Amino acid sequence: MKWPHQVARMAGIEHPFIQAPMLGVTTPQMVAAVSNAGGLGSLPVGGLSPADTASLIQAVRKLTGKPFAVNLFAHSIPALLTHIQLDEMHGVLEQYYAELGIELVKQPAESMQFYTYADQIEVLLQEKVRIVSFTFGVLNDAALQALKKQGVLLMGTATCVREAVMLQDKGIDIIVAQGMEAGGHRGSFLNERNPPLIGTMALVPQVVDAVQRPVIAAGGIADGRGVAAALMLGAAGVQVGTAFVTCDESSTSDLHKQTVLHAADTDTVLTNVFTGRWARGVRNRFITEMEQAGLSIADYPVQNQLTAPMRKAASRENNKEFLAMWAGQFVPKTDPRPAADILRSMIQQAEELLP
Amino acid sequence: MKWPHQVARMAGIEHPFIQAPMLGVTTPQMVAAVSNAGGLGSLPVGGLSPADTASLIQAVRKLTGKPFAVNLFAHSIPALLTHIQLDEMHGVLEQYYAELGIELVKQPAESMQFYTYADQIEVLLQEKVRIVSFTFGVLNDAALQALKKQGVLLMGTATCVREAVMLQDKGIDIIVAQGMEAGGHRGSFLNERNPPLIGTMALVPQVVDAVQRPVIAAGGIADGRGVAAALMLGAAGVQVGTAFVTCDESSTSDLHKQTVLHAADTDTVLTNVFTGRWARGVRNRFITEMEQAGLSIADYPVQNQLTAPMRKAASRENNKEFLAMWAGQFVPKTDPRPAADILRSMIQQAEELLP
């Protein structure tokens, strides 16, 4: 069988190997390195301002002439928190802020400002981005039509069969099937408060059977064995995140890198306490204590904004108990190295295994 | 690569393809059919009396001269329930018993009797069983030594790397790595109340790297694609359960079969309300209401015994709301057929994919 050609042809790349978009981890350097090596780098811009979005895209362009994807968060803005909910969350967070020596600025709910993908579509069109991927939902029809009109290749994220079918019905070209092993945020959108947790081994073949679109397998794939396994399941390619967290081009903290490198298979947990959306990362004190507090967690991006200064201070203070240390269930125990080496060694190992 | 030969050689079988032991589903006919077709049937005898254990083994022997495994539950008997705990659980179960028109016999905790594997080892030795698999723990040293002395091949179940290493350290010959996709009971034993939920895609390569024993992949494998994928991950073979729930030789109710056949990928849930151990099955009213009641569930096998008459009546009454309908996250949508056909078609599909 060797490599399926469909996604490589559609995206204009050599191998259907996608570096997962990881906000806070992925840099333009990482995106360019993966794309230059024949894969597809993904630039995460979810929640960023139009100006930041443009400058990141331009930064990638300076480093590669190869195709890359720009990744959006396709969520909607949730209802405002009540004062009671906000007071309650402020009350709990205040102690952590104090412990880190920073002040909690109690911004009223109605003054919180968030960018959504709707603010970014114009930039993507202006910058003539060729590939747009998204997660947390489906882009609205206006955005889809505008992107399609400009010939943009669209990739959406599904965590169950029903989400995949909905993406197909919306005309999405390529479907990323994200198994529960994956690090970082779940892409779930049909039941995001109680998201489907289907393992990659079970999810991929069922999605492949349900849609007439190329399916990219994501979740638990961290070396060439996983790449080969995903192709056996019928995937048209793979998306890999955690293996790139520790690469030379990663912008995350050394603390995050070291913690992830030493994580056992059982060390990650799904939590919504950092951002308001379920995501997989290494357990620490903040996760455990917030679980025990039993608060209702604000939706994304409100909770994300409430904890952002705390996470920033924790990174500065080298305190891993208050950092979001996203990681999947399979962290390769390898020395730090360039992203291109990771991609090449995974492809080489897969090719040795594949027919 | 084709098929790895190690497990087939050790077990004296043709293909390293194991039919998962499923109490209440697996019959001697199923075991024999799989073994006669070149796989390894597994006879579940967990919790049965020595006499029942012997007669089931003899029933398989009448149907096949090929190797098969006998599967034990390696749990220990938990502390007795307090009267308060038991009263509370009786109080909740009473309404369901009444709804099904049966009487709840309120047996005091100290009069409950359970068989353990310790009661069964002598039978296995007498019957000269050649292959013993187990789950929920590790057999004690006396049992292991007695079995090893008689040359019995030992297979243990692990749900994380640490459990796999412990099985290796205890001298177990073959390790079944059970991913979270798997239907029925989790084999977890190091933290069984909060069991590891590692997806097969992430679990198998990490276990393969951690032990010097053949590793059998289990969880989410329901057709030849999964078999081929598991071998790519480094597994020495596969264990398949859910695909056999609906086979001709299955003894489960038609209701269970039909429900499983129509289950979507998102329809299963992990629950401990039926037996006191975490297991994956199709969600129904009993699971949901017991979750909402927020009771502390008695450990296995106490909870199992408390709900057994209810499940039996539900089966008789064709009421799926009170049945334990175990299933994994990937249920093949195929017509009922003989177990041997399922095994053969999975092997054939895998061989078409494998190098």
- What is the DSSP annotation of B22-77? -TTT--HHHHHHHHHTTSBEEEE-TT--HHHHHHHHHHHHHH-SS-EEEEEE-PPP
Report the pLDDT value the prediction gives residue A137, as an integer from 0 to 100.
96
Spell out the alpha helix ranges (H) of chain A: 6-11, 28-36, 50-63, 83-99, 121-126, 141-149, 161-169, 200-210, 224-232, 254-261, 285-293, 302-316, 339-353
Report the pLDDT value the prediction gives residue A290, as an integer from 0 to 100.
95
- What does the mean pLDDT of chain B come to? 95
Residue B108, by phi and psi: left (phi above 0), alpha (psi -120 to 50) or beta? Answer: beta
Q: How many CB atoms lie within 10 A of CB B172?
A: 25
Q: Is the ipTM of this complex over 0.95?
A: yes
CB contact under 8 A, B201 and A223: no
Report the pLDDT value the prediction gives residue A84, as an integer from 0 to 100.
85
**How would residue B1 be classed by pLDDT, with cut points 50, 70 and 90?**
low
- Buried/exposed code over A185-219 (b: 16+ C-beta within 10 A; e: otherwise): bbbbbeebeebbbbbbbbbbbbbbebbebbbbbbb
Q: How many CB atoms lie within 10 A of CB A341?
A: 15
Percent of chain B with pLDDT over 70: 100
Q: Which of B272, B232, B239 is nearest to A354 (CA)?
A: B232
Give mean pLDDT, residues A282-305. Answer: 93
CA distances (Å), origin A333, targets A117, A222, B206: 36, 10, 10
The answer to whether B46 and B71 have CB atoms below 8 angstroms apart is yes
- Burial (0-12, 13-18, 19+ Cβ within 10 Å), B321: middle
Helix (H) or strand (E) segment spanning residue B287: helix B285-293
CB contact under 8 A, B161 and A266: yes
In angstroms, what separates the C-alpha of B26 from chain A's closest C-alpha?
22
CA distances (Å), origin B194, targets A266, A352, B188, B278, B292: 11, 38, 9, 9, 18
Minimal Cβ distance to A330: which of B162, B205, B264: B205
Query: What angle, rounded to 10 degrees, do the helices at A161-169 and A200-210 form?
Result: 40
**How would residue A27 be classed by pLDDT, with cut points 50, 70 and 90?**
very high
CB contact under 8 A, B200 and A201: yes
Give mean pLDDT, residues A226-231. Answer: 98
Report the pLDDT value the prediction gives residue A214, as an integer from 0 to 100.
98
Q: Which two tokens stand for residue B113?
A: 């009797």
Q: Which two tokens stand for residue B122?
A: 């002598």
Instruction: Give me the DSSP letters along A105-168.
Output: ----GGG-----GGGTHHHHHHTT-SEEEEESS---HHHHHHHHHTT-EEEEEESSHHHHHHHH
Give mean pLDDT, residues A95-99. Answer: 94
- Phi, then psi, of B174 in degrees rounded to 5: -135, 140
Chain A residues closer than 8 Å to B200 by CB: 199-202, 220
Q: Which two tokens stand for residue B54?
A: 């012997």
Q: Is A265 on the interface with B (CB under 8 A)?
A: yes
The answer to whether B287 and B298 have CB atoms below 8 angstroms apart is no
Q: Report the half-sphere exposure of A12 (CA within 13 A, side-chain side).
A: 10
Coil, helix or strand for B197?
Answer: coil
Minimal Cβ distance to A201: which of B1, B160, B201: B201
Q: Which two tokens stand for residue A349?
A: 């190992």
Percent of chain A with pLDDT over 90: 88
Q: Which two tokens stand for residue B252?
A: 């489960």
Spatial strand order of the sheet with A184-185 comes to A184-185, A279-282, A268-271
**How would residue A191 be classed by pLDDT, with cut points 50, 70 and 90?**
confident
Q: Is B328 on the interface with A (CB under 8 A)?
A: yes
Chain A residues closer than 8 Å to B205 by CB: 222-223, 225-226, 330
pTM score > 0.95 for this model? yes
CB contact under 8 A, A201 and B181: yes
**Lowest-confidence pick of A67-81, A307-321, B49-63:** A67-81
Coil, helix or strand for B144?
Answer: helix
Report the pLDDT value the prediction gives residue A1, as an integer from 0 to 100.
62
**How would residue B246 be classed by pLDDT, with cut points 50, 70 and 90?**
very high
Q: How many CB atoms lie within 10 A of CB A40?
A: 28
